[in-house]
Amino acid sequence: MIFMRRFFDHVSEKDWLSYEWQIRNRIRTLEDLKKFIPLLPEEEEGIKRTKGLYPLAITPYYLSLIDPEDPNDPIRIQAIPRAVEVDEKVQADGDPDALREEGEIPGLTHRYPDRVLMVVTTFCAVYCRHCMRKRIFSQGEVSRTKEEIDRMIDYIRKHEEVRDVLISGGDPLTLSLEKIEYILKRIREIDHVEIIRFGTRLPVLAPQRFFNDRLLDILERYSPIWINTHFNHPKEITELSEEAIDRILRRGIPVNNQAVLLKGVNDDPEVMIQLSRSLLRIKVKPQYLFHCDPIKGAMHFRTTVEKGLEIIRFMRGRISGMGIPTYAVDLPGGKGKVPLLPNYVVSKKGNTFIFESFSGELVEYTIDEVA
Ligand SMILES: *Cc1c(COP(=O)(O)O)cnc(C)c1O
Ligand code: SF4
């Protein structure tokens, strides 16, 4: 608990465990942040230059995970702006909406036949520097009105092929309980929708959100609901995030993790295997490892596809298949996700393959169909 409260030992236990307190006390300015942590010159400049474009917000909880002595702390890199975000090259090479999410109905993206994505708010507990939806943050902290949500719902009702509604943002679970329930109730009026998924990073950024039984009651009532969350580094798995996950799982809500491969944060096989082990221990399935999208203002987080493949290859044989995420790139222009795998087929002649085993051994194997 002492580790968890770095910089905040004067705050009462009750406040610290309150989500509302965490949100009310988010660190939003350079002056405020400086009180807690000595900043690097590129961070000071970054905060000044990203103002109004890519906002700063950090919950006291997430800030407390930073080691102030370490300029390369993975939490620090995800949460504190640096000048590189507005560097000419990082700006020029990136696209605000590389995945073409913006369409006819504000907030709704219908890319795959069976699934739709609803973006219901621009509000997040922390503004992650690598966010693929950075473009929406300059709009301020706004959530969709009931009328806008109704338009999205009407669309889903008219499209009977939609079985799966993915609610994202911003962070949809930052909405008021009343609004969360309104959205769920309206979606559940549609017979052809089978599952509802929330994309939320609150288990990582403000796990106290899930200490609220009323929220959990609502989520349980509109089952089947799944949660996709976004742990990127083993340091993010703390007593409090573990407790949040446990409370979610006890309500019959499975939790999957979607990490993003980020230079300087987790582009390291040892870090990623540690992340997967920690996730399995708290019963979260590592589902995806996304290659960082070419997003304006986040290009500096990109690494190579070779690095991603190296990480996946390293994991095979060292951790259960359950712990190996699907490594994927999202194609530009909204063409969808493509899974990538290291190549284990060294050669093939007829039905005779030479495979490379997890330990690097070459194994000949003839696979015939029995007539
Ligand atoms: C990623 C994504 C989905 C969900 O894809 P899954 O593989 O089912 O998680 C749905 N719609 C859009 C627009 C997406 O980008
Ligand atoms: S919580 Fe998610 S949507 Fe919000 S800034 Fe972070 S990555 Fe982006």
Same domain, 149 and 284: yes
pLDDT score for 4 = 63
**Contact (Cβ atoms closer than 8 angstroms) between residue 156 and residue 187:** yes
- What percentage of residues in the chain have a pLDDT greater than 90? 89
Which domain covers residue 335, as residue numbers? 84-340
Structure tokens at 112: 């795959």
Same domain, 254 and 348: no
Same domain, 362 and 313: no
Same domain, 288 and 364: no
Residue 271 in domain: yes
pLDDT score for 91 = 86
**Contact (Cβ atoms closer than 8 angstroms) between residue 107 and residue 148:** yes
Same domain, 248 and 362: no
Residue 259 identity (one-letter amino acid): A
β-bridge partners, 134:
none
pLDDT < 50: residue spans in the chain: 1-2
Same domain, 91 and 136: yes
Same domain, 363 and 269: no
Q: Is 115 in the pocket of ligand 1 (CB under 6 A)?
A: yes
pLDDT score for 137 = 87
Same domain, 186 and 310: yes
- Distance from Cα 201 to the centre of ligand 2, integer Å: 7
Q: Is 127 in the pocket of ligand 2 (CB under 6 A)?
A: yes
Same domain, 236 and 334: yes
Q: Of 268, 204, 263, whose CA–CA distance to 230 is shortest?
A: 204
Same domain, 362 and 220: no
Same domain, 181 and 322: yes
Residue 243 in domain: yes
CB atoms within 10 A of CB 242: 17
Q: How many domains does the chain have?
A: 2
Atom of ligand 1 nearest to the CA of 166: 10
Residue 11 in domain: no
Q: Is 255 in the pocket of ligand 1 (CB under 6 A)?
A: no
CB-based contacts of 40, cutoff 8 Å, min separation 6: 71, 82
Residue 111 in domain: yes
Among protein residues, the one with the nearest Cα to ligand 2's atom 3 is: 170
pLDDT by residue (tens digit) across 147-193? 999 999 999 999 999 999 999 989 999 999 999 999 999 999 999 99
Residue 47 in domain: no
User: Average pLDDT of the chain?
Assistant: 95
Atom of ligand 1 nearest to the CA of 228: 9
Q: Is 7 in the pocket of ligand 1 (CB under 6 A)?
A: no
Same domain, 88 and 201: yes
Residue 1 in domain: no
Q: Of 169, 117, 161, whose CA–CA distance to 143 is shortest?
A: 169
pLDDT score for 1 = 46
pLDDT by residue (tens digit) across 72-108? 999 999 999 999 999 887 788 888 888 888 888 999 9
